[in-house]
Copies of this chain bind each other. A is one copy, B any other.
Amino acid sequence: MNGKQMALEMSEQPERLRALIARAPQIAQQVRALIPEPFNGVTIVARGSSDHAAVYGRYLIEAATGKPVSLAAPSLHTLYQVPADYRGQLVIAISQSGATPEIVQTLQTLQQAGGRGLGITNEDASPLVQAADATIVLEMGRELAVPATKTVTGQLVAMAIIAGALTAADCGQPGLAGIPDWIQQVLRDPEPAAQVAASLAGSSQLVVAARGYMYAAALETALKIKETCYLVAEGYSVADLRHGPIAAVTSGVPVLALTNPGPSQADVLSLAADLRSREVPVYLVAPTDGADVRLPAGIPEQLAPIAATVCGQQIAHQLALALGHDPDTPKGLNKVTMT
């Protein structure tokens, strides 16, 4: 039987995240001590799955602070070594292993350029911990399956804690304590994900669409499916999808749409209806009646991407098995990337 390790690590998420969330007050203190004065903005440095935590943080932290949040272009600092002036910036570097050289090097460069550096990693004794002014160690336990699962949701929760710490109101991230139970609810019933996976098993391509806060979960779900199932799966903002690629979609590629009640939902549901009227198969991950995979009801919109990411893990895991692949060890992938 394949995929046991990935399933085991997925199942550890509620307990591990509960322990991380219990540390939120200390982490928030650590983050607030790093805020530069004047405080001009935030830059996030990441690659791969960590890049999706960066996209999630990009939305949450800008919503919390009102200040511009940028995703670093590491090649500017590693390959091109451009001069940098990052005074007034909080620089957050995310690396599951803490060992990806370009992430560590970019953080060091931006700290030397005046930025205050915060690392997020799962590895206590990693180069990232050595390099950063301060680090949040996720303590998700060792991850042996190649597709990252619990370290990804750990990163997402860390971003929510950081955003809570940076709000002017200083009231934390409302609803965060509910996350472990919501994820437990998702994990308790893998059947809906298995059914979606069975329907997708004949496709060579897949689009994963969402909008706003949920966009990061669409990117992460697409990557997880790509990694484990050898499909061309792409994550899209619904707004970008309308701008062009919809032509490719309407020629028959199935769409997995993620959404949660909130200002972005009308857009996603209207795209889903539009695609269905063109006979594109659409599978909905949402807390509503008629959804193919039900998200738990009542999750605040800002936190729903964390639960939706777990639904995406379930779909990727089941689809890999349905296609006869071992999701634990996809070919062509390593855990640490040297670039």
Q: Does A242 contact B (CB under 8 A)?
A: yes
1/0 per residue A251-274: CB within 8 Å of B? 101000000000110010000000
State which residues 56-88 of A face B: CB under 8 Å: 58-59, 62-63, 65-76, 79-80, 82-86, 88
Q: Does A298 contact B (CB under 8 A)?
A: no
State which residues 220-240 of A face B: CB under 8 Å: 223, 226-227, 230-234, 237-240
Q: Which of A71, A75, A244, A253 gathers most chain B CB within 10 Å?
A: A244
Chain B residues near A73: list those with CB within 8 A.
58-59, 62
B226 and A247 form a contact (CB under 8 A): yes
State which residues 18-70 of A face B: CB under 8 Å: 40-41, 43, 47-49, 51, 58-59, 62-63, 65-70
1/0 per residue A158-171: CB within 8 Å of B? 00000000000000
Q: Does A149 contact B (CB under 8 A)?
A: no
Q: Does A188 contact B (CB under 8 A)?
A: no
B331 and A239 form a contact (CB under 8 A): no
Partner among B83, B205, B333 whose Cβ is within 8 Å of the Cβ of A232: B205
Q: Does A332 contact B (CB under 8 A)?
A: yes
Tell me the complex Cα distance, A49–B232, Å: 21
B223 and A245 form a contact (CB under 8 A): yes
Instruction: Give the number of chain A interface residues (Cβ < 8 Å).
Output: 70
Q: Does A130 contact B (CB under 8 A)?
A: no
Tell me the complex Cα distance, A250–B243, Å: 29
Tell me the complex Cα distance, A264–B250, Å: 36
Tell me the complex Cα distance, A211–B78, Å: 12
A246 and B333 form a contact (CB under 8 A): yes
Q: Does A127 contact B (CB under 8 A)?
A: no
With A41-B41, A226-B247 in contact, do A71 and B70 touch (Cβ < 8 Å)? yes
Q: Does A212 contact B (CB under 8 A)?
A: yes
With A70-B70, A86-B68 in contact, do A63 and B76 touch (Cβ < 8 Å)? yes
B82 and A212 form a contact (CB under 8 A): no
Copies of this chain, whole number: 2
A232 and B234 form a contact (CB under 8 A): yes
Q: Does A89 contact B (CB under 8 A)?
A: yes
Chain B residues near A247: list those with CB within 8 A.
226-227, 230, 330-333
Q: Does A337 contact B (CB under 8 A)?
A: yes
Tell me the complex Cα distance, A89–B68, Å: 9
B88 and A40 form a contact (CB under 8 A): yes
Chain B residues near A83: list those with CB within 8 A.
66
Nearest Cβ on chain B to A313's Cβ, whole angstroms = 14
Can you spell out 17 A-B residue pairs with CB atoms less than 8 angstroms apart?
A47-B243, A59-B75, A68-B89, A69-B70, A70-B71, A71-B71, A75-B212, A75-B264, A102-B239, A223-B244, A226-B245, A226-B248, A230-B251, A232-B232, A242-B339, A243-B339, A267-B339
Given A75-B239, A76-B212: 11 more A-B contacts, CB < 8 Å: A47-B240, A48-B243, A51-B240, A62-B82, A66-B82, A67-B85, A68-B89, A223-B245, A226-B244, A230-B251, A249-B332
